[in-house]
Structure 1
Amino acid sequence: MKYRKLGQTDLNLSAITFGAWAAGGWMWGGNESNDAIKAIEAAFDEGVNAIDTAPIYGQGFSEEVVGEAVMGLPRDQVYLLTKFGMRWDLAKGDFAMKSKNNFGKDIDIYKYAGAESVVKECEDSLRRLRTDYIDLYQIHWPDSTTPIEETFKAVDKLIKDGKVRYAGVCNYSVSQMAEAEKYVRLASNQVPFSMLRREIEKETVPYCLENEKGILAYSPMDRGLLTGKMKPGQEFNEGDHRKNLWQFKDENIKRTNDFLQKIKPLADEKGLTLGQLVLLWTIEQPGITIALAGARNAEQAVQNARAMRASLSTEEVEKITGELETLQLVR
């Protein structure tokens, strides 16, 4: 496993960090907790020392699964990354979406990061994760109804109280990061980044490089599309959010697979799957600290982690990027 220092912190995270969204089942058509626990344990055995979760993933279920999975692991050898600012139990803040929980019940989700909510969510996360501190505490999405000052003064107090080690953000613009930085030192920004979604290269990457902030790239395999295993006409389980995303239109699946076939010889040469090659390319991009990779079972977790046993030369990275420039997807 390769390890990367996150920003100006002493968090030395595995370049592949376990993404626990699917472990919560919500929006992924459900999931078995035993499979998720075995996946986390298998990842740890392969050198993955960091797990990223959030309360909204399964409305607490993902955090509970993570808490159970790490119970038997040395706490000082595993980094717990979680989030705050998405409430399904309080109608306050920015309305985010209508959804259904894992039991099929309708829920309304709000983006809210008022001070009292930040503190409550932290206490709830500590309980579910079965720990007395969180290594990286990240706002999940911006909340336009709460001043950034209020939110991050609350996070700063959690840090001073020893309940949180470092503060991070997710899905924040450069201007929002700069504002938050006035009240607490940010470690990182967690943002979507993949071969198919490179918008952050314009502003976020330069800002983070200049200011020594880490970038946690989420959905680096674009929710499974970049594994090459999907085909036009792909069937998704009831409740799986992917069936409504533009990337999964039949034409985009076809074009993506055509691109993947162009880089497959390099994967074959290195004894890698396409997904592993994609992860390697991702962590070699400027400014990217780690790639978050989800796994629904132990086999997937091991495969993701073992991508780091290989490496890419500068020329190989450039060759992949060159092929990528010819890929045109339809919105």
Structure 2
Amino acid sequence: MAEDLTHNEIQIGGLPSSVLRIALGTWAIGGWMWGGSDDNLAIKTIHDAVANGINLIDTAPVYGFGHSEEVVGKALSTLSEKPFIATKVGLSWDNGKVYRDSRPEIIRQGVEDSLKRLGVETIALAQVHWPDLNTPIEETAAELAKLRQEGKILSLGVSNYSTAQMKIFQQAAPLSTSQDPLNIFERATEKTTLPFVKENDMALLAYGPLCRGLLSGKITADSVFSGDDLRKSDPKFQAPRFEEYLKAVKELQALADEKGKSLLALAIRWVLDLGPTIALWGARKPEQVTNIRDALDWSLTAEDYQKISDILARDTPDPIEPTFMAPPER
């Protein structure tokens, strides 16, 4: 059962203790689609995140095609206090081409591979990365239930599933979490998955809470994205929509200033105040995790939420959801 223990913690079903409601996201640490990464800096980032109170790290095999998990494993090997590790299954790749594959044998092999890369005996939370429409959901769930019974997984989750798909999963295995895109600019999850999560005593891991840096306060009209940076294919970062979103960012920054908070803290707090949520704080440099606790121990008011909604209605009346990120079917 997922429930708020304090303002800052939440219990995920299957885990022996609660987790901070800010977790470390390691997509960028893998380097792929983020213009590369420095392993030594990444390890220092993980260590600093744990020192700042983070006790859940979210990764995935596809982040750098195994590289993110390997870096997380190296960082874990020198930590005396081990955080919970959440990883994923259900995506395969061939020559850099990623596709969905949740066949039972692929799920089992994926878990075994992740255990080796991470250097652990048990994965705290295994999540199906994307639904595979070519494989019955109940078969995927049943295989994960077996792996859990074998002690290789403590808790099960899904990512990017519809509520109908989650109901099918629940018929074959217990479901503790759903991981979905959720931030001030991308709010579809607020109306779809979040109500289901609340009704089923689950926790929602919100990915992209800073909207790929838009809500960090550091992106300007002069920002350049190069190489394989996924923002080159994100419509929000292309003219003329980029100007609309930057205008909204400026107004959100003014609201944050009024409250004596950073825009980053305001964006994370917005996610946390919605309910049983965990914000995935993506970072690959130590300085990016120094302000983690700025988003804790306070709340936005109903008036703040209305001001944010008014800004969005005025500046981004036709919001763009992150559908461009979905990988193809097998």
TM-score by length of 1: 0.88
Q: Does 2:285 correspond to 1:297?
A: yes
Residue pairs, 1:280-319, within 5 angstroms: 280-285=269-274, 287-319=275-307
Q: Relative to 1, partners in 2 of residues 1:68 and 1:315: Cα closer, same or farther, differing over 3 Å?
A: same
CA drift at 1:305? 4.1
1:267 maps to which of 243, 246, 256? 256
Aligned partner letter, 1:111: R
Gaps of 5+ in 1: 90-105
Give the Cα–Cα distance (whole angstroms) in 1 for the partners of residues 239 and 17 of structure 2: 41
**Aligned counterpart in structure 2 of residue 136 of structure 1, from 111, 125, 136:** 125
Return closer, same or farther for 1:219/1:110 CA change in 2, 3 Å cut-off: same
The residue number in structure 2 matching 1:322 is 310
Q: Residues 202-221 of structure 1: matches in 2 within 5 Å?
A: 202-221=191-210
Q: 1:10 deviation in Å?
A: 4.7
Gap change, CA 1:271 and 1:7, over 3 Å in 2 = farther
CA drift at 1:80: 0.3
In the other structure, the counterpart of 1:45 is: 51
Where 1:222 maps in the other structure, the secondary structure is coil
Distance 1:179 1:330, change over 3 A: closer
CA contact (8 A) 1:46 1:306 kept: no
Q: After TM superposition, give the deviation of residue 11 of structure 1 in Å.
A: 4.9
Show the counterpart of 1:95: none
Residue aligned with 1:143, SS: coil
TM-score by length of 2: 0.89
Amino acid of the residue matched to residue 225 of structure 1? L
The corresponding residue for 1:119 is: 108
Q: 1:223 aligns with which of 189, 212, 229?
A: 212
Q: Which residue of 1 aligns with 2:98?
A: 109
Per the alignment, do residues 45 and 271 of structure 1 end up closer, same or farther by CA in structure 2, a change over 3 Å counting?
farther
For residue 87 of structure 1, what is the aligned residue in structure 2?
92
Residues 245-277 of structure 1: CA deviation (Å, up to 9, x unaligned): 111113333222222322324422444321121
- The one-letter code matched in structure 1 to 2:161 is Y
Query: What is the total number of aligned residue pairs between the two structures?
Result: 313
- Check whether the contact 2:236–2:245 (CA below 8 A) recurs between aligned residues: no
**What is the rounded CA distance, in whole Å, between the counterparts of 1:330 and 1:289 in structure 2?**
22
1:18 is displaced (CA, Å) by 0.3
Contact 1:80 1:136 (8 Å CA) reproduced: yes
**What is the root-mean-square deviation in Å for CA atoms of aligned residues?**
2.0
**8 Å Cα contact 1:231-1:254 kept in structure 2:** no
SS at match of 2:279: strand
2:265 is aligned to 276
Identity percentage of aligned residues? 40
